[in-house]
């Protein structure tokens, strides 16, 4: 199994075109730091991952839109100062359509052609009731349509292997996915998950509903016992018991981290072997685990 990274840096190309080229996509996600030390860590991670020639990198927007200006600034800087193709995160949270137009315009001026259109978590956090913003949007599909109407953007959306936590059923969840595609979405990225069969079941549901865009699996390795609790809080889903058992079987923090990387590498192997078009790593602004997983995949792919 070849990893199939692009043979050259993609520059400012549209992600949808890169995916259509048939090469496996490997991408990394970062978040806006809170302080100067976090800023240094972010750019250290970016520089350490840049030699892997990812298809693209993305920058998240904080809960309730709290980091919006920093998200825009970091995305602009990646476009201007690195060889990487950045994807900007857009959310509906706390913004009017006029404000969204302004942000999208800034991205266009910076040469950023790729956006991930999200409803976003309510200001009260995941699982709390949605709060409408006067003059704003309430659905990711509306944000997709807005972005597509404002320029030559490649627009992706979030998708959910076990269904969105607010979805009434898996059928309702896939209907929302179809609405996003109908609005102009061109690819999807999943939230984190731990079983390859959950990803492939999502793909099957999507194809059965007429959703034919590429779906990239989102990967977040467990690097500490505490992170298991945090992952459950973010996704609204319990970490599978077999994963918890493997982590619980070791006590030393370094061993926990090693096992977490092994679990993620095995998952990535299964996903690529089953035909996933690539992998999207949630890096938490650290490069080491992602580089270790990548190295493990490359070692597995090497000829005997």
Where in the sequence numbering do the catalytic residues fall? Answer: 29
Mark out the alpha helices in the chain (DSSP H runs).
15-20, 36-49, 68-81, 97-109, 140-149, 170-183, 196-208, 225-235, 241-248, 253-273, 288-301
Q: What is d(CA 186, CA 91) in angstroms, rounded to the nearest whole number?
A: 17
Q: What is d(CA 94, CA 71) in angstroms, rounded to the nearest whole number?
A: 15
Maximum CA extent, the chain: 61
Number of Cβ within 10 Å of residue 40's Cβ equals: 11
Determine the 3-state secondary structure of 24 from DSSP: coil
Residues linked to residue 279 through DSSP beta bridges, in sequence order: 26
Number of Cβ within 10 Å of residue 68's Cβ equals: 20
**What DSSP state is assigned to residue 169?**
S
Q: What is d(CA 20, CA 278) in angstroms, rounded to the nearest whole number?
A: 12
Q: What is d(CA 217, CA 279) in angstroms, rounded to the nearest whole number?
A: 5
Pairing of strands 114-118, 187-192: unpaired
């Amino acid at each position: 199994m070849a990893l199939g990274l692009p043979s050259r840096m993609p520059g400012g190309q549209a992600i949808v075109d890169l995916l259509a080229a048939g090469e496996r996509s490997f991408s990394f996600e970062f978040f806006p730091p809170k302080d100067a030390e976090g800023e240094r860590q972010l750019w250290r991670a970016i520089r350490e991952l840049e030699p892997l020639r990812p298809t693209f990198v993305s920058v998240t927007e904080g809960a309730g839109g709290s980091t919006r200006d920093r998200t825009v600034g970091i995305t602009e800087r990646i476009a201007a100062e690195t060889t990487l193709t950045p994807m900007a995160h857009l959310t509906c949270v706390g913004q009017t359509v006029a404000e969204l137009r302004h942000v999208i315009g800034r991205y266009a001026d910076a040469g950023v052609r790729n956006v991930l259109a999200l409803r976003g978590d309510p200001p009260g956090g995941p699982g709390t009731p949605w709060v409408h913003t006067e003059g704003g949007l309430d659905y990711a599909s509306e944000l997709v349509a807005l972005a597509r109407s404002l320029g030559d953007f490649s627009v992706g959306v979030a998708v959910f292997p076990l269904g969105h936590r607010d979805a009434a059923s898996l059928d309702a969840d896939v209907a929302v996915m179809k609405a996003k595609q109908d609005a102009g979405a061109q690819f999807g990225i999943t939230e984190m998950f731990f079983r390859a069969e959950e990803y492939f079941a999502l793909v099957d549901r999507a194809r059965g509903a007429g959703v034919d865009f590429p779906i990239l699996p989102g990967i977040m390795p467990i690097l500490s016992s505490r992170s298991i609790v945090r992952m459950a809080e973010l996704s609204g889903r319990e970490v599978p018991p077999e994963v918890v058992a493997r982590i619980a079987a070791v006590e030393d923090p370094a061993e926990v981290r090693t096992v977490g990387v092994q679990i993620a590498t095995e998952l990535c192997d299964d996903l690529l072997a089953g035909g996933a078009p690539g992998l999207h790593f949630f890096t938490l602004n650290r490069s080491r685990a992602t580089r270790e997983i990548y190295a493990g995949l490359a070692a597995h792919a090497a000829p005997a």
